[in-house]
Amino acid sequence: MEKLLQGLREFQENYIPGREELIQQLAKGQNPRVLFIGCSDSRVDPTIITQAEIGDLFIIRNAGNIIPPYEATNGGEGATIEYAMEALDIRQVIVCGHTQCGAMKGLLQLGELEDKMPLVYHWLHHTEATRKLVEDHYSHLEKKEKLNLLVAQNVLTQIDNLQTYPSVRSKLHTGDLAIHGWIYEIENAQLLAYDDETRTFVPPHSKIYADLEQTKSLKPGGLSLSFDDTVKPGAGAPAVALPEFSEPVQPHWPGASRLSPQQAARIYGRAGV
């Protein structure tokens, strides 16, 4: 606690001076432009890794950066998303996963959590589509490779889940909202962004700047996942190898392989695969 109290003193003595006008402006109301959805992991602080100013980010953090599908729960995530879209008119959303994620490790041993951590067990069922895809198609992988794939796939699953919210769907339809998928690499403090054109996680700068110049509307199933390359990290960072991904041969519509039948029906209005 002493360290936190010292930090508070430094905040008041060193940070506030020179920002009085900003503080007064924020006292009248907030106007963040980005909704940041991240993990509760103490090693991944959104304001630090983005160097955001006070008032820049509207933040949701929980175990596994998970967004339950619309009407799947009455928890705070859904209410926060609705508030961000309707009250704050948010135009940019970031879903940020990270390597070494404890929640994704829990997905690898989900059955063991039911008695030890029942709340976590039920919470992780909101990303069941992630677990099922990886187990069905990549059960042969080594644990580390499988964990990397779970982290990446979970980001895309949560983007799918976001699109089940009416307020999000409406903004996407009019092109007034862009959703970005990020992975923060704890090992080297590098950050990767998902590029739906190349289907890889790449250094975020060019991707984000391009999206800011012309906001892209995400269509149903538009984030078709196909990891056919090694993930391309930032300059000087080691490669994060993800296995090749091939879509199931059974009939499906875009994006269905990442969704449970219930999610797919909710998004596309059809029966599950």
69 within a domain of the structure (yes/no):
yes
Asked whether residue 85 is domain-assigned, the answer is yes
Per-residue pLDDT of 108-155, as tens digits, reads: 999 899 999 999 999 999 999 999 999 999 989 999 999 999 999 999
Q: Determine, yes or no, domain membership for 70.
A: yes
CATH at residue 45: 3.40.1050.10
- Does 242 reside within a domain? yes
Question: What's the distance, CA 85 to chain centroid?
Answer: 16
Tokens of 156: 């895309």
Residue 25 lies in a domain: no
Task: Decide if 130 is inside a domain.
Answer: yes
Number of domains in the chain: 1
The whole-chain average pLDDT of the chain stands at: 79
Q: For residue 137, is it within any domain? A: yes
Supply the range of the domain harboring residue 82. Answer: 31-248
Specify the pLDDT at position 106: 94
If one compares 150 and 6, the residue with the highest pLDDT of the two is 150
Model confidence band, residue 217 (pLDDT cutoffs 50, 70, 90)? very low
Instruction: Let me know if residue 254 belongs to a domain.
Output: no
